Structure 1
Amino acid sequence: MIKQSSRKVYWRWLKIALYTLSVLLGQSAALLLGRLYFLKGGSSKWLSSVVQVIGFPILIPFYLLTTTTTTTTADDGGGNKPPLPSPYTLGAIYASRGLLFSVGLQYLPVSTYTLLCASVLAFNSFFSYFINGQKFTPFIVNSLVLLTISSVLLVFNNEESASSSAPNRGNYVVGFLCTLAGSALFGLLLSATQFVFVKVIKRQTFKHMMDMVIYENVVACGVTVVGLFASGEWKELGREMGGYELGTASYLMTLIWVAVFWQMYALGAMGLIFEVSALFSNSISVVGLPIVPVAAVFCFRDRMSGVKGVSMALAVWGFVSYMYQCYLDDRNSKVVTKSVDETSPRMSS
């Protein structure tokens, strides 16, 4: 019995490790390639949103291989399983978030954009308090304050907006505000997803996790494709492809790999919500903060100004503060479990 329980624990943490790797690799690669798309001649905000969700067909083989061997009993009073929630609201939020983030990615350097996305953790914590009953501790509050200051500091990064290779001040502000709004929507989406898993679906299977990932992407894909055609941007795609600095083949491969890496990220992020919580999933995304700016310095020759360096340090500090709270929660949980195990034999005797 103990061995079987140990295997389950090891298997769970192995899945968490794999999902974590998917989030870090998928997010970092997708952001860098998305920035490359804009730097080398791409300009379609709707297309950059479409590629974030259009890659869902690559997940279908995994979906077909899923089973429903581990389930939890739904409590609807009649012994029937509750119906799956409609994905349209979540899909609309996901599509809106993708569009806003694409505007930010177009107008902001990768390092600034990535640091600003750290504010998702603050928004996620806020929504989790009301939706998921998240408790605020001194370390969580400290994390929120540090990440908020980290984001606000970027507004005063005049050096970047004044450089010849950076966007003008107006575009910089637009990118900042759009990315901030996208962060708020994404924070809401994460909390809502956890709520749906725990309170609505009430099932613990990989298949239902894949349902959420694929349904969300299908709906968001439909919304963004309609937006692409309604905006008229599709008419310029041929000219954009022909004028891409790296060539037509590189243009297509960039978009394809962006789609693939965003799906890797989506699967990992949903898996962490499924296995742990929305806040944990979000915190793992923040772990990637140092990865993208450092890579952008070598790939795109971004400048790491003093203000940006302080902002990144505060963001990392905020993440560490949150992870320390996770460590305390885990330690307290183990103490309680050990106490129960030691008391049970005495009670039975």
Structure 2
Amino acid sequence: WRLKQSYNEAIPSSGAALAMESQFPNQAQTVAAGGALGRRTLLLLSLVLMVVGGAGGPLLTRIYFLHGGARVWLTSLLQTVGFPMVLPNLAAAYLHRNGRGGWRRTFSVTARGFAAFVAIGVLTGLDAYMYAYGSASLPLSTSSLLFSTQVAFTAVFAYLVVRQRFTPYSVNAVVLLVVGPVVLGLNSSGDRPAGVSNQRYYLGFFMSLGAAAILGLTLPLVELTYLRMKQKITYTLVMEVQAVLSISASVFCIVAMLINKDFQAIPREAKEFGLGETKYYLVLAACAVLWQLVNLGFVGVISTSSSLLAGIVVAMLVPVGEILAVLVLHETFNGAKGVALALAIWGFVSYLYGEHHSHREPKQTVGEELELQPGP
């Protein structure tokens, strides 16, 4: 048998672009209609939000636990409850759009897209809980290194969900990011915080890996949902998606807090907080703001680029988290962490080099043929 595939342009290397042209042929033109300058501006803004929030959110979460905080579901809620920050911008976008005249749909998200994002939001709430449990049980430097493995999970799930191409460089990055946690696990005897049992430490260890795996799944799922909606990526659409994801995840966490009676414990915990009652509420508020910046950045990067790039940015923040943990929290930085950090950076650089190399390859021309040998 002989199958012919014709391409008008070069075969793209990003998961989003590849999925657009292979499964959703009209999507590439729809997204392009948004304008290259607008997309680059939104991508740059999203990257800045991810860096600022990704550096501060984990640090303040760990500070909460170090000074007497113990409500895991509360810190899970803080990772998603900052969604009111997007509502004024969303309202302004609606007013601006309606002021142009003509009929327009009230919401940019389709009904199917809304249902999909609600489900992904619930999954995000579970991911937030697993991450918070790891933060409560592990030093920040350790949990950050473990969470960086989400790049490996993202690469695998991006291949399965949106047909992200694997290259030798991305495979190398995945292997390196998997070896890092193994090194940490084999050399964790002196890393356990005071007052944390071995059982809780290792449960936190695997919870952090589980959180990385769930994030690695949700990023391609968000990307796939964008692709299936076949809509132009606009600022309003990104804000709507973030609101739906955050509200769904927040409701999931609030229900768990009600069952766990966390709301009744907050006033007592505030009075006993090591930094004082006022700073307790300031830490909670700052956590909510910083984590919302991360969430906005995630959705923006995925919508303007790919889920794998969003995962790579998280891995890039690992050295920042390590430095902050040592300088602010005075955590020890042993040889195992050094090896794991070096592997994480090596994997990150390997992936970036692979992306750069793939973009420099000559464009493949029309009429590429794929031959399949007939069976016996």
Equivalent position of 2:171 in the other structure: 141
Aligned residue number for residue 318 of structure 1: 347
Query: CA separation in 2, counterparts of 1:305 and 1:166?
Result: 20
1:88 and 2:115 equivalent? no
Residue 203 of structure 1 aligns to a residue whose secondary structure is coil
Q: Matched residues in 1 for 2:256 and 2:170: separation?
A: 38
Question: Of 235, 243, 257, which residue of structure 2 is paired with 1:206?
Answer: 235
CA contact (8 A) 2:153 2:217 kept: yes
SS state at 2:79 partner:
helix
Contact 1:161/1:167, CA 8 A, preserved across alignment? no
For 1:255 and 1:48, locate their aligned partners in 2 and report how far apart those are by CA, in whole Å.
8
Match of 2:159 among 124, 129, 143: 129
Partner of 2:251: 222
Alignment check: 8 A CA contact 2:55 2:320 kept: yes
1:344 aligns with none
Residue 182 of structure 1 pairs with residue 182 of structure 2: no
| Aligned ranges 1:231-242 → 2 under 5 Å | 231-242=260-271
Q: C-alpha distance in 2, partners of 1:83/1:94?
A: 18
Map 1:1-349 onto structure 2 (within 5 A): 8-66=35-93, 83-86=112-115, 87-161=117-191, 165=194, 167-332=196-361, 335-336=362-363
Q: Which amino acid aligns with 1:62?
A: N
Secondary structure of the corresponding residue to residue 93 of structure 2 = coil
CA distance in 2, matches of 1:201, 1:57: 27
Aligned partner of 2:14 in structure 1 is: none
Is residue 197–residue 203 contact of structure 1 (8 Å, CA) maintained in 2?
no
CA positional deviation for 1:10: 4.2
Q: CA separation in 2, counterparts of 1:216 and 1:329?
A: 33
Letter in 1 for 2:262: E
Alpha-carbon distance in 2 for matches of 1:165, 1:181: 24
TM (norm. structure 1) is 0.86
The one-letter code matched in structure 1 to 2:60 is: L
Code of the aligned partner of 1:311: A
Residues 241, 125 of structure 1: alpha-carbon distance in 2 compared, 3 angstrom cutoff: same
Question: How many pairs were matched up?
Answer: 320
CA distance in 2, matches of 1:100, 1:27: 17
Deviations 1:12-61 (A, max 9, x none): 33332221111111011000000000001100001001111111001111
Q: Please state which structure has a larger fraction of its residues in helix.
A: 1
Query: Unpaired segments of 5 or more residues in structure 2?
Result: 1-31, 98-109, 367-376
Residues 46 and 228 in structure 1, CA contact (< 8 A), matched pair in contact too = yes
Q: How far apart, CA to CA, are the structure 2 residues paired with 1:274 and 1:96?
A: 23
> TM-score normalized by structure 2?
0.80
- How far off is 1:331 after superposition? 2.6
Shift of 1:166: 6.8
Partners of 1:124 and 1:303 in 2: how far apart?
29
- Helix, strand or coil for the counterpart of 1:85? helix
> Tell me, which stretches of 5 or more residues in structure 1 are unaligned?
70-80, 341-349
Corresponding residue of 2:16: none
Alpha-carbon deviation of 1:167? 2.9
Q: Deviations over 1:166-206 (max 9, x none)?
A: 73322210101111111111111101000000123533222
Contact 1:91–1:216 (8 Å) recurs in 2: yes
* Percentage of identical aligned residues: 28
One-letter code of the match for 1:55?
Answer: G
CA distance in 2, matches of 1:9, 1:207: 17
Q: CA deviation at 1:156?
A: 1.8
> What is the RMSD of the two structures over their aligned residues, measured on CA atoms?
2.2
Contact residue 46 and residue 297 of structure 2 kept, 8 A? yes
